[in-house]
Protein backbone atom coordinates (compact mmCIF):
# COMPACT_ATOMS: atom_id res chain seq x y z
CA UNK A 1 0.00 0.00 0.00
CA UNK A 2 1.10 3.55 -0.68
CA UNK A 3 0.81 6.42 1.78
CA UNK A 4 -0.31 9.86 0.65
CA UNK A 5 2.99 11.43 1.70
CA UNK A 6 5.01 8.83 -0.18
CA UNK A 7 2.97 9.16 -3.35
CA UNK A 8 3.03 12.95 -3.34
CA UNK A 9 6.76 12.94 -2.62
CA UNK A 10 7.21 10.57 -5.54
CA UNK A 11 5.29 12.88 -7.86
CA UNK A 12 7.19 15.92 -6.68
CA UNK A 13 10.49 14.08 -7.07
CA UNK A 14 9.68 12.91 -10.60
CA UNK A 15 8.38 16.35 -11.50
CA UNK A 16 11.53 17.96 -10.14
CA UNK A 17 13.71 15.46 -12.02
CA UNK A 18 11.87 16.19 -15.27
CA UNK A 19 12.17 19.96 -14.81
CA UNK A 20 15.85 19.79 -13.86
CA UNK A 21 16.50 17.45 -16.79
CA UNK A 22 14.76 19.86 -19.16
CA UNK A 23 16.70 22.78 -17.71
CA UNK A 24 20.00 20.91 -18.12
CA UNK A 25 18.98 19.87 -21.63
CA UNK A 26 18.09 23.48 -22.44
CA UNK A 27 21.48 24.60 -21.10
CA UNK A 28 23.26 21.96 -23.16
CA UNK A 29 21.27 22.75 -26.31
CA UNK A 30 21.74 26.50 -25.87
CA UNK A 31 25.49 26.18 -25.42
CA UNK A 32 25.64 23.68 -28.28
CA UNK A 33 23.68 26.01 -30.54
CA UNK A 34 25.93 28.91 -29.60
CA UNK A 35 29.00 26.75 -30.18
CA UNK A 36 27.81 25.63 -33.61
CA UNK A 37 26.76 29.17 -34.51
CA UNK A 38 30.09 30.64 -33.38
CA UNK A 39 32.03 27.93 -35.19
CA UNK A 40 30.09 28.53 -38.40
CA UNK A 41 30.66 32.30 -38.10
CA UNK A 42 34.40 31.71 -37.69
CA UNK A 43 34.43 29.46 -40.74
CA UNK A 44 32.45 31.98 -42.75
CA UNK A 45 34.80 34.80 -41.80
CA UNK A 46 37.81 32.73 -42.81
CA UNK A 47 36.15 31.82 -46.09
CA UNK A 48 35.20 35.46 -46.66
CA UNK A 49 38.82 36.51 -46.10
CA UNK A 50 40.08 33.96 -48.62
CA UNK A 51 37.43 34.94 -51.12
CA UNK A 52 38.25 38.62 -50.74
CA UNK A 53 41.96 38.02 -51.34
CA UNK A 54 41.28 35.93 -54.41
CA UNK A 55 38.74 38.38 -55.82
CA UNK A 56 41.13 41.32 -55.29
CA UNK A 57 44.04 39.57 -56.96
CA UNK A 58 41.88 38.38 -59.83
CA UNK A 59 40.71 41.94 -60.38
CA UNK A 60 44.38 42.91 -60.76
CA UNK A 61 45.30 40.07 -63.11
CA UNK A 62 42.33 40.38 -65.45
CA UNK A 63 43.52 43.74 -66.90
CA UNK A 64 46.98 42.20 -67.45
CA UNK A 65 45.51 39.81 -69.96
CA UNK A 66 44.26 42.69 -72.02
CA UNK A 67 47.58 44.51 -71.57
CA UNK A 68 49.42 41.44 -72.85
CA UNK A 69 47.30 41.47 -75.98
CA UNK A 70 48.05 45.18 -76.51
CA UNK A 71 51.79 44.83 -75.86
CA UNK A 72 52.30 41.61 -77.78
CA UNK A 73 52.43 43.39 -81.22
CA UNK A 74 55.32 45.49 -79.92
CA UNK A 75 57.63 42.48 -79.79
CA UNK A 76 60.20 42.96 -82.54
CA UNK A 77 59.69 46.72 -82.79
CA UNK A 78 62.57 49.01 -81.94
CA UNK A 79 62.78 49.86 -78.24
CA UNK A 80 62.62 53.56 -79.04
CA UNK A 81 59.15 53.05 -80.55
CA UNK A 82 57.88 50.45 -78.08
CA UNK A 83 59.08 51.97 -74.77
CA UNK A 84 56.62 54.85 -74.73
CA UNK A 85 53.63 52.58 -75.30
CA UNK A 86 54.83 50.17 -72.60
CA UNK A 87 55.17 53.03 -70.13
CA UNK A 88 51.60 54.09 -70.89
CA UNK A 89 50.33 50.58 -70.15
CA UNK A 90 52.36 50.37 -66.93
CA UNK A 91 51.12 53.74 -65.77
CA UNK A 92 47.52 52.80 -66.50
CA UNK A 93 47.73 49.48 -64.66
CA UNK A 94 49.57 51.01 -61.65
CA UNK A 95 50.34 47.61 -60.09
CA UNK A 96 52.75 46.70 -62.87
CA UNK A 97 56.35 47.54 -61.94
CA UNK A 98 57.77 47.07 -65.44
CA UNK A 99 57.14 45.50 -68.85
CA UNK A 100 59.87 43.82 -70.89
CA UNK A 101 60.06 42.66 -74.50
CA UNK A 102 62.04 39.48 -75.27
CA UNK A 103 63.30 38.67 -78.75
CA UNK A 104 65.42 35.60 -79.45
CA UNK A 105 65.79 34.98 -75.71
CA UNK A 106 67.16 38.48 -75.16
CA UNK A 107 65.48 41.16 -73.06
CA UNK A 108 66.00 43.96 -75.50
CA UNK A 109 63.56 46.59 -74.21
CA UNK A 110 62.28 47.57 -70.75
CA UNK A 111 59.57 50.08 -69.90
CA UNK A 112 61.88 51.45 -67.18
CA UNK A 113 65.46 51.01 -68.49
CA UNK A 114 64.75 51.34 -72.17
CA UNK A 115 67.01 49.42 -74.58
CA UNK A 116 68.81 46.48 -73.08
CA UNK A 117 70.61 43.38 -74.25
CA UNK A 118 70.39 40.88 -71.38
CA UNK A 119 69.76 37.13 -71.88
CA UNK A 120 66.45 36.61 -70.16
CA UNK A 121 67.51 33.38 -68.46
CA UNK A 122 70.12 35.35 -66.50
CA UNK A 123 67.33 37.39 -64.96
CA UNK A 124 64.79 34.57 -64.60
CA UNK A 125 66.02 30.99 -65.05
CA UNK A 126 62.50 29.76 -65.91
CA UNK A 127 62.38 31.96 -69.02
CA UNK A 128 61.88 31.73 -71.88
CA UNK A 129 59.10 29.11 -72.02
CA UNK A 130 56.69 27.86 -74.61
CA UNK A 131 53.86 28.04 -72.04
CA UNK A 132 52.39 31.09 -70.32
CA UNK A 133 53.76 31.33 -66.80
CA UNK A 134 52.72 33.07 -63.58
CA UNK A 135 55.08 32.66 -60.65
CA UNK A 136 56.62 34.35 -57.65
CA UNK A 137 60.27 35.25 -57.71
CA UNK A 138 62.87 37.79 -56.55
CA UNK A 139 63.58 41.02 -58.42
CA UNK A 140 67.19 41.21 -59.70
CA UNK A 141 66.91 44.47 -61.64
CA UNK A 142 65.12 47.38 -59.97
CA UNK A 143 64.51 46.74 -56.27
CA UNK A 144 66.85 43.84 -55.88
CA UNK A 145 65.83 41.17 -53.41
CA UNK A 146 62.15 42.15 -53.22
CA UNK A 147 59.44 39.62 -54.12
CA UNK A 148 57.62 40.08 -57.40
CA UNK A 149 54.86 38.33 -59.32
CA UNK A 150 56.04 37.65 -62.86
CA UNK A 151 53.76 37.03 -65.82
CA UNK A 152 55.24 35.52 -69.03
CA UNK A 153 53.29 35.32 -72.28
CA UNK A 154 55.15 33.75 -75.25
CA UNK A 155 54.59 34.94 -78.79
CA UNK A 156 52.48 32.53 -80.79
CA UNK A 157 54.49 29.65 -82.28
CA UNK A 158 57.67 30.96 -80.70
CA UNK A 159 59.61 29.82 -77.68
CA UNK A 160 62.17 32.60 -77.77
CA UNK A 161 59.94 35.69 -78.05
CA UNK A 162 57.38 37.07 -75.64
CA UNK A 163 56.27 39.69 -73.11
CA UNK A 164 57.30 39.73 -69.45
CA UNK A 165 55.32 41.77 -66.90
CA UNK A 166 56.54 42.29 -63.34
CA UNK A 167 53.89 43.04 -60.69
CA UNK A 168 54.85 44.76 -57.45
CA UNK A 169 53.35 42.00 -55.29
CA UNK A 170 55.07 43.25 -52.11
CA UNK A 171 52.91 46.36 -52.23
CA UNK A 172 49.81 44.25 -52.85
CA UNK A 173 50.71 41.95 -49.99
CA UNK A 174 50.16 44.73 -47.49
CA UNK A 175 46.75 45.41 -49.01
CA UNK A 176 45.33 41.94 -49.51
CA UNK A 177 47.23 39.53 -47.22
CA UNK A 178 47.10 41.35 -43.90
CA UNK A 179 45.65 38.79 -41.41
CA UNK A 180 42.29 39.31 -39.72
CA UNK A 181 42.81 38.12 -36.18
CA UNK A 182 41.68 36.08 -34.37
CA UNK A 183 40.23 34.08 -37.29
CA UNK A 184 43.28 34.45 -39.56
CA UNK A 185 46.74 34.78 -38.00
CA UNK A 186 48.74 34.12 -41.20
CA UNK A 187 47.87 34.62 -44.88
CA UNK A 188 49.95 33.15 -47.70
CA UNK A 189 49.71 33.56 -51.47
CA UNK A 190 50.61 30.42 -53.40
CA UNK A 191 51.73 30.76 -57.05
CA UNK A 192 53.20 27.71 -58.72
CA UNK A 193 55.60 26.20 -56.15
CA UNK A 194 56.38 29.47 -54.36
CA UNK A 195 54.68 31.01 -51.35
CA UNK A 196 54.52 34.65 -50.28
CA UNK A 197 53.51 35.39 -46.67
CA UNK A 198 52.54 38.74 -45.27
CA UNK A 199 55.52 40.24 -43.42
CA UNK A 200 57.88 37.31 -44.15
CA UNK A 201 58.50 37.37 -47.89
CA UNK A 202 58.92 34.27 -50.05
CA UNK A 203 58.78 30.86 -48.40
CA UNK A 204 60.04 27.55 -49.69
CA UNK A 205 57.32 25.66 -47.84
CA UNK A 206 54.40 26.32 -45.51
CA UNK A 207 54.63 25.22 -41.89
CA UNK A 208 51.68 25.13 -39.52
CA UNK A 209 52.21 25.57 -35.78
CA UNK A 210 50.67 23.16 -33.29
CA UNK A 211 47.12 24.06 -32.35
CA UNK A 212 46.47 25.85 -35.64
CA UNK A 213 44.94 24.67 -38.90
CA UNK A 214 45.32 25.77 -42.50
CA UNK A 215 42.69 26.33 -45.17
CA UNK A 216 43.41 26.75 -48.86
CA UNK A 217 41.20 28.30 -51.53
CA UNK A 218 42.19 28.33 -55.22
CA UNK A 219 41.28 30.84 -57.91
CA UNK A 220 39.07 29.54 -60.67
CA UNK A 221 40.53 31.98 -63.23
CA UNK A 222 44.25 32.00 -62.56
CA UNK A 223 46.89 29.59 -61.33
CA UNK A 224 47.20 30.75 -57.74
CA UNK A 225 45.64 29.99 -54.35
CA UNK A 226 45.47 31.49 -50.89
CA UNK A 227 46.28 29.65 -47.67
CA UNK A 228 45.07 30.98 -44.33
CA UNK A 229 46.38 29.69 -41.02
CA UNK A 230 44.76 30.25 -37.66
CA UNK A 231 43.06 28.60 -34.69
CA UNK A 232 40.48 25.92 -35.47
CA UNK A 233 37.00 27.39 -35.75
CA UNK A 234 35.71 24.89 -33.19
CA UNK A 235 38.50 25.67 -30.72
CA UNK A 236 37.79 29.40 -30.99
CA UNK A 237 34.09 28.81 -30.47
CA UNK A 238 34.80 26.58 -27.47
CA UNK A 239 37.08 29.18 -25.94
CA UNK A 240 34.37 31.81 -26.32
CA UNK A 241 31.69 29.57 -24.81
CA UNK A 242 32.08 30.78 -21.16
CA UNK A 243 30.89 34.23 -22.24
CA UNK A 244 27.63 32.60 -23.39
CA UNK A 245 27.09 30.81 -20.06
CA UNK A 246 25.11 33.53 -18.18
CA UNK A 247 22.52 33.88 -20.93
CA UNK A 248 22.31 30.10 -21.32
CA UNK A 249 21.76 29.69 -17.56
CA UNK A 250 18.98 32.27 -17.57
CA UNK A 251 17.31 30.53 -20.51
CA UNK A 252 17.65 27.08 -18.94
CA UNK A 253 16.14 28.28 -15.65
CA UNK A 254 13.27 29.83 -17.58
CA UNK A 255 12.70 26.54 -19.42
CA UNK A 256 12.80 24.66 -16.10
CA UNK A 257 10.27 27.05 -14.57
CA UNK A 258 7.96 26.76 -17.58
CA UNK A 259 8.27 22.97 -17.37
CA UNK A 260 7.40 23.14 -13.65
CA UNK A 261 4.24 25.06 -14.48
CA UNK A 262 3.39 22.86 -17.45
CA UNK A 263 3.75 19.62 -15.46
CA UNK A 264 1.57 20.84 -12.61
CA UNK A 265 -1.37 18.86 -14.01
CA UNK A 266 0.40 16.36 -16.22
CA UNK A 267 2.60 15.00 -13.42
CA UNK A 268 0.17 15.13 -10.53
CA UNK A 269 -2.07 12.77 -8.65
CA UNK A 270 -5.11 14.25 -10.38
CA UNK A 271 -3.59 13.30 -13.74
CA UNK A 272 -2.92 9.82 -12.34
CA UNK A 273 -6.57 9.46 -11.31
CA UNK A 274 -7.75 10.56 -14.76
CA UNK A 275 -5.41 8.05 -16.37
CA UNK A 276 -6.68 5.38 -13.99
CA UNK A 277 -10.30 6.08 -14.95
CA UNK A 278 -9.49 6.12 -18.66
CA UNK A 279 -7.47 2.88 -18.39
CA UNK A 280 -10.09 1.06 -16.24
CA UNK A 281 -7.62 0.61 -13.38
CA UNK A 282 -10.35 1.13 -10.77
CA UNK A 283 -12.63 -1.69 -9.72
CA UNK A 284 -15.82 -1.70 -7.68
CA UNK A 285 -15.92 -4.04 -4.68
CA UNK A 286 -18.79 -4.66 -2.32
CA UNK A 287 -19.15 -5.64 1.34
CA UNK A 288 -22.41 -7.28 2.46
CA UNK A 289 -24.74 -5.76 5.04
CA UNK A 290 -26.25 -8.44 7.30
CA UNK A 291 -29.53 -8.42 9.17
CA UNK A 292 -28.79 -8.70 12.89
CA UNK A 293 -32.00 -10.66 13.35
CA UNK A 294 -31.61 -13.51 10.83
CA UNK A 295 -28.10 -12.93 9.40
CA UNK A 296 -29.49 -12.57 5.88
CA UNK A 297 -27.80 -10.20 3.42
CA UNK A 298 -30.00 -7.11 3.13
CA UNK A 299 -27.66 -4.93 1.11
CA UNK A 300 -24.12 -4.05 0.17
CA UNK A 301 -21.82 -1.09 0.51
CA UNK A 302 -19.93 -0.41 -2.70
CA UNK A 303 -16.23 0.28 -2.26
CA UNK A 304 -13.69 1.50 -4.80
CA UNK A 305 -10.26 -0.04 -5.13
CA UNK A 306 -7.37 0.97 -7.34
CA UNK A 307 -4.57 -1.18 -8.63
CA UNK A 308 -2.22 1.34 -10.21
CA UNK A 309 0.34 -0.44 -12.43
CA UNK A 310 2.73 2.45 -11.83
CA UNK A 311 2.33 2.53 -8.03
CA UNK A 312 0.80 -0.77 -7.01
CA UNK A 313 -2.27 -0.95 -4.78
CA UNK A 314 -3.27 2.50 -3.57
CA UNK A 315 -5.49 2.67 -0.52
CA UNK A 316 -8.73 4.64 -0.75
CA UNK A 317 -7.60 6.33 2.47
CA UNK A 318 -4.96 7.86 0.17
CA UNK A 319 -6.65 8.51 -3.14
CA UNK A 320 -10.13 9.49 -1.89
CA UNK A 321 -8.97 12.52 0.18
CA UNK A 322 -6.61 13.55 -2.63
CA UNK A 323 -9.39 13.16 -5.18
CA UNK A 324 -11.59 15.39 -3.03
CA UNK A 325 -8.83 18.02 -2.91
CA UNK A 326 -8.45 17.90 -6.70
CA UNK A 327 -12.23 18.01 -7.35
CA UNK A 328 -12.12 14.53 -8.86
CA UNK A 329 -14.34 12.73 -6.37
CA UNK A 330 -17.41 13.25 -8.54
CA UNK A 331 -15.88 11.40 -11.55
CA UNK A 332 -15.01 8.50 -9.24
CA UNK A 333 -18.59 8.41 -7.96
CA UNK A 334 -19.90 8.44 -11.54
CA UNK A 335 -17.62 5.49 -12.29
CA UNK A 336 -19.10 3.56 -9.37
CA UNK A 337 -22.63 4.37 -10.55
CA UNK A 338 -21.86 3.23 -14.10
CA UNK A 339 -20.24 -0.01 -12.97
CA UNK A 340 -23.08 -0.74 -10.55
CA UNK A 341 -25.74 -0.28 -13.22
CA UNK A 342 -23.69 -2.36 -15.66
CA UNK A 343 -23.68 -5.26 -13.17
CA UNK A 344 -26.99 -4.56 -11.45
CA UNK A 345 -28.30 -8.06 -12.26
CA UNK A 346 -25.93 -9.70 -9.78
CA UNK A 347 -27.89 -8.19 -6.86
CA UNK A 348 -31.17 -9.61 -5.55
CA UNK A 349 -34.11 -8.00 -7.33
CA UNK A 350 -35.82 -6.77 -4.21
CA UNK A 351 -36.99 -3.37 -3.04
CA UNK A 352 -35.70 -4.30 0.41
CA UNK A 353 -32.13 -4.80 -0.86
CA UNK A 354 -30.02 -1.69 -0.31
CA UNK A 355 -27.07 -0.61 -2.43
CA UNK A 356 -24.92 1.93 -0.60
CA UNK A 357 -22.61 4.29 -2.48
CA UNK A 358 -20.21 6.69 -0.79
CA UNK A 359 -20.71 10.30 -1.89
CA UNK A 360 -18.73 13.42 -0.95
CA UNK A 361 -20.55 16.49 0.33
CA UNK A 362 -19.02 18.51 -2.55
CA UNK A 363 -21.00 16.35 -4.97
CA UNK A 364 -24.19 17.87 -3.60
CA UNK A 365 -23.35 21.40 -4.71
CA UNK A 366 -25.75 22.84 -7.26
CA UNK A 367 -27.58 19.52 -7.50
CA UNK A 368 -24.72 17.75 -9.30
CA UNK A 369 -25.48 14.42 -7.62
CA UNK A 370 -29.10 14.60 -8.78
CA UNK A 371 -28.02 15.22 -12.36
CA UNK A 372 -25.65 12.25 -12.20
CA UNK A 373 -28.34 9.98 -10.78
CA UNK A 374 -30.75 11.02 -13.51
CA UNK A 375 -28.09 10.30 -16.09
CA UNK A 376 -26.68 7.02 -14.76
CA UNK A 377 -29.02 5.45 -12.18
CA UNK A 378 -32.68 6.13 -12.84
CA UNK A 379 -32.71 5.45 -16.63
CA UNK A 380 -32.10 1.75 -15.86
CA UNK A 381 -34.98 1.71 -13.34
CA UNK A 382 -33.26 -0.58 -10.83
CA UNK A 383 -35.49 -2.30 -8.31
CA UNK A 384 -32.97 -2.15 -5.47
CA UNK A 385 -32.97 0.71 -2.99
CA UNK A 386 -30.19 3.28 -3.42
CA UNK A 387 -28.52 4.71 -0.33
CA UNK A 388 -26.04 7.59 -0.56
CA UNK A 389 -23.52 7.49 2.27
CA UNK A 390 -22.07 10.83 3.39
CA UNK A 391 -18.88 10.48 5.42
CA UNK A 392 -18.78 12.69 8.51
CA UNK A 393 -15.27 13.94 7.75
CA UNK A 394 -16.90 16.10 5.07
CA UNK A 395 -18.32 19.48 5.97
CA UNK A 396 -21.84 18.15 6.29
CA UNK A 397 -23.38 21.53 7.20
CA UNK A 398 -22.28 22.72 3.74
CA UNK A 399 -24.48 20.12 2.06
CA UNK A 400 -27.25 21.77 0.07
CA UNK A 401 -30.37 20.96 2.06
CA UNK A 402 -32.59 21.46 -0.98
CA UNK A 403 -30.70 18.70 -2.74
CA UNK A 404 -31.22 16.45 0.28
CA UNK A 405 -34.96 17.18 0.20
CA UNK A 406 -35.12 16.37 -3.53
CA UNK A 407 -33.24 13.10 -2.99
CA UNK A 408 -35.76 12.02 -0.36
CA UNK A 409 -38.61 12.83 -2.77
CA UNK A 410 -36.90 10.71 -5.43
CA UNK A 411 -36.81 7.72 -3.07
CA UNK A 412 -33.09 7.83 -2.38
CA UNK A 413 -32.04 7.13 1.20
CA UNK A 414 -29.33 9.15 2.91
CA UNK A 415 -26.84 7.65 5.38
CA UNK A 416 -24.19 9.33 7.52
CA UNK A 417 -21.07 7.18 7.43
CA UNK A 418 -18.49 6.86 10.26
CA UNK A 419 -20.91 8.58 12.63
CA UNK A 420 -19.38 9.90 15.83
CA UNK A 421 -15.86 10.51 14.51
CA UNK A 422 -16.28 13.76 12.60
CA UNK A 423 -18.10 17.05 12.77
CA UNK A 424 -20.97 15.92 14.96
CA UNK A 425 -23.94 18.20 15.30
CA UNK A 426 -27.38 17.23 16.55
CA UNK A 427 -28.85 20.21 14.69
CA UNK A 428 -27.91 19.04 11.24
CA UNK A 429 -29.01 15.50 12.05
CA UNK A 430 -32.51 16.89 12.13
CA UNK A 431 -31.88 19.18 9.12
CA UNK A 432 -30.44 16.45 6.88
CA UNK A 433 -33.01 13.93 8.12
CA UNK A 434 -30.78 10.90 7.36
CA UNK A 435 -32.38 7.47 6.98
CA UNK A 436 -29.37 5.62 8.36
CA UNK A 437 -26.54 6.21 10.83
CA UNK A 438 -23.48 4.00 10.40
CA UNK A 439 -21.63 3.45 13.67
CA UNK A 440 -17.89 3.83 13.06
CA UNK A 441 -15.76 0.70 13.43
CA UNK A 442 -13.70 2.32 16.20
CA UNK A 443 -16.77 2.22 18.48
CA UNK A 444 -17.59 -1.32 17.43
CA UNK A 445 -14.01 -2.45 18.19
CA UNK A 446 -14.30 -0.97 21.72
CA UNK A 447 -17.19 -3.23 22.69
CA UNK A 448 -16.08 -5.37 25.61
CA UNK A 449 -12.71 -3.59 25.93
CA UNK A 450 -13.26 0.14 26.43
CA UNK A 451 -15.95 1.26 28.85
CA UNK A 452 -15.91 4.89 27.63
CA UNK A 453 -16.32 4.07 23.96
CA UNK A 454 -18.91 1.43 24.77
CA UNK A 455 -20.92 4.10 26.57
CA UNK A 456 -20.63 6.40 23.53
CA UNK A 457 -21.83 3.54 21.35
CA UNK A 458 -24.88 3.13 23.57
CA UNK A 459 -25.55 6.86 23.37
CA UNK A 460 -25.38 6.79 19.54
CA UNK A 461 -27.76 3.84 19.46
CA UNK A 462 -30.20 5.54 21.81
CA UNK A 463 -30.01 8.77 19.78
CA UNK A 464 -30.78 7.02 16.51
CA UNK A 465 -33.68 5.11 18.04
CA UNK A 466 -35.05 8.31 19.54
CA UNK A 467 -34.94 10.03 16.12
CA UNK A 468 -36.29 6.99 14.29
CA UNK A 469 -33.11 6.46 12.26
CA UNK A 470 -31.93 3.00 11.22
CA UNK A 471 -28.52 1.85 12.43
CA UNK A 472 -25.70 -0.01 10.71
CA UNK A 473 -22.67 -1.08 12.75
CA UNK A 474 -19.40 -1.16 10.85
CA UNK A 475 -16.32 -3.24 11.62
CA UNK A 476 -18.04 -6.19 13.31
CA UNK A 477 -15.36 -8.87 13.70
CA UNK A 478 -16.44 -11.01 16.70
CA UNK A 479 -19.55 -12.83 17.80
CA UNK A 480 -19.43 -10.87 21.07
CA UNK A 481 -19.70 -7.57 19.17
CA UNK A 482 -22.51 -8.88 17.00
CA UNK A 483 -24.52 -10.13 19.98
CA UNK A 484 -23.96 -6.90 21.92
CA UNK A 485 -25.23 -4.79 19.02
CA UNK A 486 -28.17 -7.09 18.31
CA UNK A 487 -29.33 -6.93 21.92
CA UNK A 488 -29.29 -3.12 21.78
CA UNK A 489 -31.46 -3.02 18.69
CA UNK A 490 -28.89 -2.38 15.92
CA UNK A 491 -30.64 -3.69 12.82
CA UNK A 492 -27.79 -4.22 10.33
CA UNK A 493 -24.22 -5.40 10.84
CA UNK A 494 -21.22 -5.08 8.54
CA UNK A 495 -17.72 -6.45 9.00
CA UNK A 496 -15.16 -9.20 8.53
CA UNK A 497 -17.18 -11.54 10.74
CA UNK A 498 -19.55 -11.98 7.81
CA UNK A 499 -17.54 -11.14 4.69
CA UNK A 500 -14.59 -9.18 3.50
CA UNK A 501 -14.94 -6.73 0.61
CA UNK A 502 -15.09 -8.67 -2.65
CA UNK A 503 -15.23 -7.91 -6.38
CA UNK A 504 -18.77 -7.58 -7.69
CA UNK A 505 -18.28 -10.66 -9.83
CA UNK A 506 -17.80 -12.81 -6.69
CA UNK A 507 -20.86 -11.54 -4.84
CA UNK A 508 -23.41 -13.98 -6.39
CA UNK A 509 -21.30 -16.98 -5.34
CA UNK A 510 -20.91 -15.61 -1.83
CA UNK A 511 -24.63 -14.94 -1.66
CA UNK A 512 -25.33 -18.59 -2.49
CA UNK A 513 -23.41 -19.52 0.65
CA UNK A 514 -20.15 -20.65 -0.96
CA UNK A 515 -16.95 -20.12 0.93
CA UNK A 516 -14.57 -18.23 -1.33
CA UNK A 517 -10.80 -17.69 -1.12
CA UNK A 518 -9.40 -14.24 -0.44
CA UNK A 519 -10.38 -12.09 -3.41
CA UNK A 520 -7.89 -11.63 -6.23
CA UNK A 521 -7.90 -9.28 -9.17
CA UNK A 522 -6.01 -9.93 -12.41
CA UNK A 523 -3.68 -12.32 -10.63
CA UNK A 524 -2.87 -9.89 -7.79
CA UNK A 525 -3.98 -10.47 -4.19
CA UNK A 526 -6.28 -7.71 -2.98
CA UNK A 527 -5.36 -6.04 0.32
CA UNK A 528 -7.70 -7.10 3.10
CA UNK A 529 -7.97 -3.77 4.89
CA UNK A 530 -11.33 -2.13 4.21
CA UNK A 531 -11.02 0.55 1.55
CA UNK A 532 -13.38 3.42 1.13
Are the C-beta atoms of residues 470 and 439 closer than 8 Å to each other?
no
310 in any annotated domain: yes
- Three-class DSSP labels, 461-522: HHHHHHHCCEEEECCCCCHHHHHHHHHCCCCEECCCCCCCCEEHHHHHHHHCCCCCCCCEEC
386 in any annotated domain: yes
User: Rounded mean pLDDT of 5-34?
Assistant: 79
438 in any annotated domain: yes
What is the C-alpha to C-alpha distance for residues 77 and 89, in angstroms, rounded to an integer?
Answer: 16
> Confidence class of residue 218 from pLDDT cuts 50, 70 and 90?
very high
Q: What is the pTM of this model?
A: 0.55
The total number of structural domains that make up the chain: 1
What is the C-alpha to C-alpha distance for residues 431 and 401, in angstroms, rounded to an integer?
Answer: 7
421 in any annotated domain: yes
243 in any annotated domain: no
More confident residue, 502 or 528: 502
* CATH number of the structural domain spanning residue 283: 3.20.20.450
User: Rounded mean pLDDT of 175-183?
Assistant: 82
* % of the chain exceeding 90 in pLDDT: 28
More confident residue, 466 or 145: 466
Domain that residue 325 falls in: 268-525
* Average pLDDT over the chain, rounded to an integer: 83
4 in any annotated domain: no
Lowest model confidence (mean pLDDT) among 195-209, 260-274, 417-431, 469-483: 260-274
> Confidence class of residue 198 from pLDDT cuts 50, 70 and 90?
confident
Phi, psi (deg, nearest 5) at residue 459: -65, -40
Q: Taking 60 as the threshold, does the pLDDT of residue 122 lie above it?
A: yes
Are the C-beta atoms of residues 115 and 108 closer than 8 Å to each other?
yes
Are the C-beta atoms of residues 415 and 388 closer than 8 Å to each other?
yes
Digit-coded pLDDT (tens) for 403-462: 888 888 999 999 988 776 765 556 667 777 889 999 988 888 888 776 656 778 888 889
131 in any annotated domain: no
114 in any annotated domain: no
If one counts every other C-beta atom within 10 angstroms of the C-beta of residue 290, the result is: 23
Show the CA angle centred on residue 238, arms to residues 234 and 240, nearest 5°: 120
The continuous run of DSSP H or E covering 356 comes out as strand 354-359
Amino acid sequence: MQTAQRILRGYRRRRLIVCVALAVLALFLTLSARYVSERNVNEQRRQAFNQRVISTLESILVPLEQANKDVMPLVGMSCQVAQLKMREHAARLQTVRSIGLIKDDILYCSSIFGARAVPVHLLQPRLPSTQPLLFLTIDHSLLKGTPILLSWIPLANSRHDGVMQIINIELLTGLILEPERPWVSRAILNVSDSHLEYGKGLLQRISVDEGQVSHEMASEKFAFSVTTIGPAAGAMALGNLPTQLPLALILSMLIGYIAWLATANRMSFSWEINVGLASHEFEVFCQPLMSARNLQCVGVELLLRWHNPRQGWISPDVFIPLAEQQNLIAPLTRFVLEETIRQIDIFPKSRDFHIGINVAASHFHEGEIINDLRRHWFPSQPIQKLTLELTERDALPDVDHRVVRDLHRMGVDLAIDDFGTGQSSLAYLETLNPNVLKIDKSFTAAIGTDAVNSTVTDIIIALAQRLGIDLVAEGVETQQQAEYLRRRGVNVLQGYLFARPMPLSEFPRWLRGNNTPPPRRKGHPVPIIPLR
